[in-house]
Amino acid sequence: MNRKQRRAMAKEQRKKGNDDLAEKVMLFDKLPDECLMCEAPFDKKNKEMVSKWNVTVRESQGRVHLYCPDCWDKAHKMVAAVVESMEETAKVMEERKKNAKDNE
Ligand SMILES: [Zn+2]
């Protein structure tokens, strides 16, 4: 979405007088009732759950993904591990480049 479209949309929302409220309500409506990964049940009316569970929004797909705290934690650790191994690989590549240069 470009700036012009975004501005037009915001204007449209304001005209309707519901600002981001409508958006939030819509999102809430789309909230799944279970964790995307482990299918643990989610209760929208449980404030503690609402505050602890994690919601990600894919605006382009109009999708809302829900993760329980356990899976969120696991997902983050997984990402961290991938990043670490990527850094590790980058280091090795760098070393190889250096060695190649030394042999020139
Ligand atoms: Zn889960």
- Average pLDDT of the chain is 85
- pLDDT value of position 6: 77
- Over residues 7-39, the pLDDT tens digits come to 777 677 667 765 566 666 667 777 899 999 999
- Please identify which residue in the block is written with the tokens 């990964």: 37
Cα angle 81, 60, 1 (rounded to 5 degrees) comes to: 115
Q: What is the pTM of this model?
A: 0.56
**47 vs 102: which has the higher pLDDT:** 47
Q: In sequence order, which residues have a C-beta less than 8 Å from that of residue 68 and are 6 or more positions away?
A: 35, 37, 38, 40, 42, 53
Give 41 Cα–ligand 1 centroid separation in angstroms. 9
The residues whose Cβ lies within 5 A of ligand 1, an ion, are 35, 37-38, 40, 68, 71
For residue 30, how far is its CA from the centre of ligand 1 (angstroms)?
A: 18
| Average pLDDT rounded to a whole number, residues 42-67 | 88
- Domain spans of the chain, in order of start: 31-102
Q: Ligand 1 centroid to 2 CA: how many Å?
A: 35
Return the bridge partners of 64, or none: 57
pLDDT confidence of residue 95? 93
In the prediction, which pLDDT does 59 show? 76
What pLDDT, on the 0 to 100 scale, is given for residue 90?
A: 93
